[in-house]
Chains A and B, each alone.
Chain A
Amino acid sequence: MAEQIIFYILAAIIAVFSILAVTSKRIIRSATYLLFVLLATAGLYLLLGYNYLFAVQVAVYAGGVMVLFIFAILLTNRPGADVKSELAVRRVVAGITALAGVAFCAHIIYYNVNKVMVTVAQSELTPQQIGHTMLGTDKYQYLMPFEAISILLLACIIGAIMIARKR
């Protein structure tokens, strides 16, 4: 009961704000709506029982990525410059494409996903379990992707500095 109510509140927040985020005229408002969407998604992870993902989502997405966005918006928007509105044709075509996609996928979900799915009780995910899975080399353990991500992060740091520095 409580789970359902919380889910529908979060779902309403996500649906409304994700649509507002892509239709809003001012870009800084779009970024704020995106922040709300990301936080509500973190709430969904908590509702599903993945506390670690909740923490990662809040710290990385709602913290780091949003700060990057807001910096970029403030650096690239001249104050006083008027917002150019998009062509109506472009918006209509995009809207039709999106609605067609929603209809198609909703049809697939409605007719093909089993309706009586219920959550199976799952034991609490402990930090030990997460750490062993992340840093193990057996089957279903993920040391290799973990190292690949660390190399990727290093490459991104170097790349971002190389691209953005003043010459």
Chain B
Amino acid sequence: MELITNFLSGSVQIEAYLGLSLIMFFAGIYGFLSRKSLLMILISIELMLNAADINFVVFNRYLYPGHLEGFYFTLFTIAIAACETAVAIAIIINIYRNLNSVEVGNLDEMKE
């Protein structure tokens, strides 16, 4: 019991956040390499971007409190990720319309 209260006292260490974003990032890598659907690849990319965002914010908060660089980098990353997702999904819907499938294996031409 005392072990648990000792473990939980104080604030969260920076390694805990870094380890968490590490797990998230490599879950994204695994999905990116192993899945075949374009939408699953896009979901994996979102996971990786999100892990990078967590790292930016945590470094800003722990190493440079009072500054706002990591904060703004995360803000702009979120906006760029939203743009990228919108364009990617437009392309995926177009591919589906032309080829009737969103598997990367069938994807060797963009026009019918």
Contacts and interface: CB of A to CB of B under 8 A. Distances in A.
Interface of A: 1, 3-5, 7, 11, 14-15, 18-19, 21-23, 27, 30-31, 34, 37-38, 41, 44-45, 47-50, 52-53, 56-57, 60-61, 64-65, 68-69, 71-73, 75-76, 84, 86, 90-91, 93-95, 97-99, 101-102, 105-106, 109-110, 113-115, 117-123, 125, 129-130, 133-134, 140, 142, 145, 149, 152-153, 156-157, 159-161, 163-164
A4 B5 CA distance: 10
Interface of B: 5, 7-20, 22-24, 26-37, 39-40, 42-44, 46-47, 50, 53-54, 57-58, 61-62, 65-69, 71-72, 74-76, 78-83, 85-87, 89-94, 96, 102-103
A131 B39 CA distance: 36
A18 B44 CA distance: 9
Q: List the 7 closest A-B pairs by CB distance, nearest first.
A: A22-B31, A94-B33, A94-B34, A164-B90, A98-B30, A156-B83, A160-B90
A9 B16 CA distance: 12
Contacts of A157: 86
Contacts of A5: 8
A90 B65 contact: no
A50 B20 contact: no
Interface SS of B by simple majority: helix
A contact patch SS: helix
B87 A98 contact: no
B15 A113 contact: yes
A34 B46 CA distance: 9
A129 B57 CA distance: 17
A55 B33 CA distance: 32
A76 B54 CA distance: 31
A52 B66 CA distance: 15
Contacts of A1: 5, 8-9
Contact of A3 (B12, B79, B91): B12
A68 B85 contact: yes
Contacts of A123: 66
A160 B35 contact: no
